[in-house]
Amino acid sequence: MSLPIGQAAIEQKGWWPSYRFILLRRCSQLAVVGLFLLGPLTGIWVLKGNLSASMLLDTIPLTDPLVWLQTLLAGKAFELTLGLGALLVAGFYWLVGGRVFCSWVCPINPITDSASWLRRKLSLNRSGTLSRALRYWMLGIVLVVPMLTGTLAWELVNPVSLAMRGALYGMGAGWLLITAVFAFDLLMVRRGWCGHLCPLGAFYALLGKFSPLRINASQRECCNDCMDCYAVCPEPQVIKPALKGEKLGNGSIILAPECTNCGRCIDVCGESVFEFSTRFANKAERQS
Ligand code: SF4
Ligand code: SF4
Ligand code: SF4
């Protein structure tokens, strides 16, 4: 009988190495909301604003680069502070992997992760099919609309902005949209929103396309095909080229920009196949 997903990892590595990254990510996501709430609740202002635009320690501007792009495309006046904030945020996510935003910061991630977890628990195996490229078309639309309308229309319905504003100022009708995302992922398409449709995730994937920080299937020869990493990965299509591409001459680094650097594959692999690494390790491996 096959073991439940992740059980082999717990038996072989112990509890903490099997849940390390998911717990650290939840701490990180809570810490971001906590830092925004700290000011209004205690008067100690570390982060002022929200995920779209904020000020760190009253001196360092941080701007969502996609919001900033929409502002420019809508024909709004260039603001140096916002531009500098966008550059800082974009530079950070370029360095650590664009979709690190998705797995370590975004308040929607725990919601879509929960839908995926519940899907597995309830054995809801049927899933509608959507192209994972749709999100890039969605991103195109998000960028064209400000040019046509002069507004940041997407930000009015962006679940990420709504969830963060909801956490800070009260949710209101935003709950409806967030519940719809959860229901869509649970009942209609596996990893439907984040893995197929979200334009912000697509934007961060493009931003992190050449990021140095990558997941490395460095011990891929130890893989026993238990499939646990595929089951928990929000973007399972990114794993195979690195894990099984040896015969094709593929390096062991996961280079697909859709990988969120969430580390969940590292957690659940009982054979310790994966680790965090840099994209340059591929080159070193080929030379050795
Ligand atoms: S894909 Fe979109 S909603 Fe999902 S975690 Fe990334 S930014 Fe958030
Ligand atoms: S890398 Fe292989 S052994 Fe490890 S979780 Fe994935 S399928 Fe299982
Ligand atoms: S390959 Fe690993 S790090 Fe990348 S998205 Fe999948 S589980 Fe997360």
pLDDT tens across 3-39, in order?
899 999 999 999 999 999 999 999 999 999 999 999 9
Domain annotation covers residue 261 = yes
Whether the pLDDT of residue 288 is over 70: the answer is no
Domain annotation covers residue 247 = yes
Domain annotation covers residue 245 = yes
Q: What is the average pLDDT value for the chain, to the nearest integer?
A: 94
Whether the pLDDT of residue 172 is over 80: the answer is no
Backbone angles phi, psi at 173, to 5 degrees: -75, -10
User: Which ligand has the shortest distance to the CA of 216?
Assistant: 3
Domain annotation covers residue 123 = no
Is the CB of residue 239 below 6 angstroms from any atom belonging to ligand 1?
no
Mean pLDDT of 194-213: 97
Other C-beta atoms within 10 Å of 39: how many?
16
Domain region containing 283:
7-11+211-287
Tell the residue nearest (CA) to atom 6 of ligand 3: 233
> 174-183 and 159-169 are packed helices; what angle lies between their axes, rounded to 10 degrees?
130
Is the CB of residue 167 below 6 angstroms from any atom belonging to ligand 2?
no
Is the CB of residue 109 below 6 angstroms from any atom belonging to ligand 1?
yes
Q: How far is the CA of 187 from the centre of ligand 2 (A)?
A: 27
Domain annotation covers residue 167 = no
Tell the residue nearest (CA) to atom 7 of ligand 1: 201
Whether the pLDDT of residue 287 is over 70: the answer is no
Domain annotation covers residue 117 = no
**pLDDT-derived band of residue 71, with 50, 70 and 90 as boundaries?**
very high
Whether the pLDDT of residue 1 is over 70: the answer is no
Mean pLDDT of 259-288: 87
Domain annotation covers residue 81 = no
- The domain total for the chain is 1
H helix intervals, the chain: 7-13, 15-42, 65-73, 80-96, 100, 109-121, 134-149, 153-157, 159-169, 174-183, 192, 199-207, 228-232, 240-243, 264-268, 281-287
Q: Global pTM?
A: 0.94
Domain annotation covers residue 163 = no
Per-residue pLDDT tens over the stretch 219-238: 999 999 999 999 999 999 99
What pLDDT was estimated at residue 282? 72
Q: How far is the CA of 18 from the centre of ligand 1 (A)?
A: 24
Q: How far is the CA of 215 from the centre of ligand 3 (A)?
A: 7
**pLDDT-derived band of residue 189, with 50, 70 and 90 as boundaries?**
very high
